[in-house]
Structure 1
Amino acid sequence: METVLLVEDDIDVMDVTSLLLEDAGYVVLQAKNASQALRLAEEHPDIGAVFTDVNLRDGLNGIELAYELRARGNWASVVVVSGDLGWADTPLKEDMRFLSKPYGRKTLLAVVHEACARTLTHQRL
């Protein structure tokens, strides 16, 4: 069972996304900001993917969070999402992906599956 760290400051989006991921068999760790996400990442080194909104209200944004996770030695693949397409051209590492909102269940599950696969491939190298 893969673990997904979900970082989202909108509780409604958090609840729906968590439900969709859990129904697909993922274990979901929830964080409402980057500080919580960093703490959870330290406590759970087996995270298969990080799925984060770009615009988080407190502290780092989702892209900054992704780079901070790397700096701390966490190599889980990251999917950053936003309804603001201005973020779509932001340079990301090769194992990070941008996903625009809104997205459907099928797309959510596909990108999380791909992210977990990238993490697993990286761990084997």
Structure 2
Amino acid sequence: MTHDAPGDAPHALVVDDDALIIMDATSILEDAGFKVLEAMNVAQAMKVLEQHHDVVQLLFTDVHMPGDADGFDLARQTAERWPHIAVVVASGQAEPGPDELPEGATFIGKPFSAEIVRHHVRETMPDEKHPEMLRE
């Protein structure tokens, strides 16, 4: 699913198996100036990334989802295949162990606030890739 934002807005991919969390994260990122794509598991997320990796600038993913892979796997695969995509991993149940997050990725606990998400996106993405609304 794609949500409208300004035409030159950077794209973010939100991945979570909880529709309410997707809605919340999507709203936060849209308010920050992103155009948002959504997926409910790692397999769907990889399909979206394979089709849209050239425009996606941010991956915002949960850890625990149905399927053989989790959000840590998705974060590592994304960083390896598309190093230009900034990665933020969120979970209310798991914390990353050594080497679970790719270099440059950040982790936030759930529940999260818009302020926390915006802070981590600013820290994770290069300044020149920030949407207009996140530039300080």
**Equivalent of 1:114 in 96, 102, 123:** 123
**Equivalent of 2:105 in 93, 96, 110:** 96
Structure 1 counterpart of 2:133: none
Change (3 A) 1:119 1:113: same
Unmatched tracts of structure 2, length 5 or more:
1-8, 130-136
As a proportion of its length, which structure holds more helix?
Answer: 1
SS of structure 2 residue aligned to 1:89: coil
Aligned partner letter, 2:67: D
- TM superposition outliers: structure 1 runs of 4+ over 6 Å: none
Normalising by structure 2, report the TM-score: 0.77
Structure 2 counterpart of 1:56: 65
How far off is 1:90 after superposition? 4.0
**Equivalent of 2:46 in 38, 41, 44:** 38
**Equivalent of 2:90 in 81, 85, 99:** 81
Q: Structure 2 CA distance, aligned partners of 1:74 and 1:114?
A: 18
Aligned partner letter, 2:77: E
Contact kept in structure 2, 1:79 and 1:115, CA below 8 Å:
yes
Cα offsets for 1:31-79 (capped at 9, x unmatched): 00001111111111221110000011223100011122234x2111211
| Of 109-118 and 38-47, the range deviating more from structure 2 | 109-118
Between Structure 1 and Structure 2, how many residues are aligned?
A: 118
Contact kept in structure 2, 1:7 and 1:31, CA below 8 Å:
yes
Aligned partner letter, 2:86: S
Q: Structure 1 CA distance, aligned partners of 2:48 and 2:59?
A: 11
**Equivalent of 2:75 in 63, 66, 81:** 66
Aligned partner letter, 1:32: M
How far off is 1:13 after superposition? 0.7
Contact kept in structure 1, 2:79 and 2:102, CA below 8 Å:
no
Q: Structure 1 CA distance, aligned partners of 2:128 and 2:71?
A: 18
Identity %: 31
Unmatched tracts of structure 1, length 5 or more:
121-125
Aligned partner letter, 1:63: F
Aligned partner letter, 1:13: I
